[in-house]
């Protein structure tokens, strides 16, 4: 496919992406989400560099409530510092979520786009594959994959990605089926645009809005999935993660609320931030809302 970057396009004065960014910044809740997301990511990336500690170290008496010691968020059942756990656990959680979401989005959009665009036997085969993955219990399949290999972060991310792409494929296919019938796609065809060009440059940009929202939701789902796997003891035992913190302290939840609550709040804030950003991107990709 002959593609040209937008700076080569002669009639551009500012790129559509720049317009989208302007639109995004004008949206308050999206901006709040972005600030929140950036803070969470910087906390997880920079925190471990600034505070040298081992999240697995026993630092105080087990199950000390917040405020009862110098460890402001308290300690868990092994006397580990929850604040350090949150700072160090973020990296693993975010890395798994981002990788898993990337995998599921890539598989989902590819399969959905091909099935929606070409139809016929291509669609039959791809939809059968999608259905096969849909009817398998996702958690069970992920558990099998992790047990087969090793419970390392990479395998966990892969397992989550592989079991969670089906809704993305369905949505992409639906959007493609709708958009490919519109006249501007016919118009592109009548000027000899290649199939690749039509898929990537004509249909996909017009399908972006719901796909971005879905991607944001996927990141949220991946974070929760990782927490669920860790909760079941299938996390990477050498890596502290927010899910693992909740999972390991679940038995003490009636006596000590803090070891599960603080990582829980972090997961909640991350999912919320991603959703707000996704919503903002959705609006930003709608040319009708772009201010002019």
Nearer CB in complex with other proteins: 189/252: 189
- Looking at residue 2, the DSSP 8-state letter turns out to be -
Nearer CB in complex with other proteins: 179/240: 179
Instruction: Sort residue 67 into left (φ over 0), alpha (ψ -120 to 50) or beta.
Output: left
Q: Which residues contact 281 (CB under 8 A, 6 or more apart)?
A: 20, 24, 30, 212, 213, 216
Contact indicator for 90, 43 with CB cutoff of 8 Å: yes
Distance (Å, whole) CA 203 – CA 225 = 31
Question: What is the smallest separation between the CB atom of 181 and other proteins, expressed in angstroms?
Answer: 9
Question: What is the smallest separation between the CB atom of 192 and other proteins, expressed in angstroms?
Answer: 5
R_g (Cα) of the chain, nearest Å: 22
Question: What is the smallest separation between the CB atom of 197 and other proteins, expressed in angstroms?
Answer: 7
Nearer CB in complex with other proteins: 188/269: 188
Question: What is the smallest separation between the CB atom of 68 and other proteins, expressed in angstroms?
Answer: 55
Distance (Å, whole) CA 111 – CA 92 = 28
Question: What is the smallest separation between the CB atom of 16 and other proteins, expressed in angstroms?
Answer: 7
Going from the C-alpha of 161 to that of each of 44, 86, 96, 240, the distances in angstroms are: 22, 24, 9, 20
Nearer CB in complex with other proteins: 16/264: 16
Instruction: Sort residue 101 into left (φ over 0), alpha (ψ -120 to 50) or beta.
Output: alpha
Question: What is the smallest separation between the CB atom of 276 and other proteins, expressed in angstroms?
Answer: 23
Nearer CB in complex with other proteins: 49/288: 288
Nearer CB in complex with other proteins: 197/261: 197
> How many residues are recorded in the chain?
292
* Cα–Cα nearest to 118, from 168, 166, 173: 173
Question: What is the smallest separation between the CB atom of 171 and other proteins, expressed in angstroms?
Answer: 18
Going from the C-alpha of 166 to that of each of 125, 132, 169, 282, the distances in angstroms are: 14, 10, 5, 21
Contact indicator for 212, 282 with CB cutoff of 8 Å: yes
Q: Which residues contact 254 (CB under 8 A, 6 or more apart)?
A: none
In the complex, the residues that contact other proteins under the rule CB under 8 A are 2, 4, 8-14, 16, 182-184, 186-194, 197, 202, 205-206, 208, 285, 287-288, 290, 292
Nearer CB in complex with other proteins: 22/189: 189
Nearer CB in complex with other proteins: 70/183: 183
Question: What is the smallest separation between the CB atom of 249 and other proteins, expressed in angstroms?
Answer: 48
Distance (Å, whole) CA 88 – CA 43 = 9
């Amino acid at each position: 496919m002959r593609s040209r970057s937008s700076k080569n396009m002669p009639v551009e004065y500012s790129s559509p992406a720049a317009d989208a960014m302007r639109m995004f910044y004008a949206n308050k809740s999206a901006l709040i989400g972005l600030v929140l997301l950036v803070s969470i990511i910087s906390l997880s990336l920079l925190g471990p560099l600034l505070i040298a500690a081992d999240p697995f170290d026993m630092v105080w008496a087990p199950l000390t409530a917040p405020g009862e010691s110098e460890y402001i968020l308290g300690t868990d059942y092994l006397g580990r510092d929850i604040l350090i756990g949150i700072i160090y656990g973020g990296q693993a959680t975010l890395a798994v979520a981002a990788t898993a979401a990337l995998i599921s989005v890539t598989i989902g959009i590819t399969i959905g786009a091909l099935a929606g665009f070409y139809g016929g036997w291509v669609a039959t085969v791809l939809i059968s594959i999608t259905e096969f993955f849909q009817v398998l219990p996702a958690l069970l399949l992920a558990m099998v994959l992790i047990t087969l290999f090793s419970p390392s972060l990479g395998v966990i991310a892969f397992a989550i990605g592989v079991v969670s792409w089906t809704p993305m494929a369905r949505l992409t296919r639906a959007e493609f089926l709708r958009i490919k019938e519109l006249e501007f796609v016919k118009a592109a065809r009548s000027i000899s645009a290649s199939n690749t060009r039509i898929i990537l440059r004509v249909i996909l940009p017009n399908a972006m809005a719901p796909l971005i929202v879905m991607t944001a939701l996927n990141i949220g789902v991946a974070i929760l999935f990782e927490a669920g796997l860790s909760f079941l003891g299938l996390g990477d035992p050498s890596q502290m993660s927010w899910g693992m913190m909740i999972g390991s302290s679940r038995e003490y939840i009636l006596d000590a609320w803090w070891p599960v609550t603080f990582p829980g709040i972090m997961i909640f804030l991350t999912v919320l931030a991603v959703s707000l950003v996704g919503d903002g991107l959705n609006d930003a990709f709608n040319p009708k809302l772009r201010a002019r």
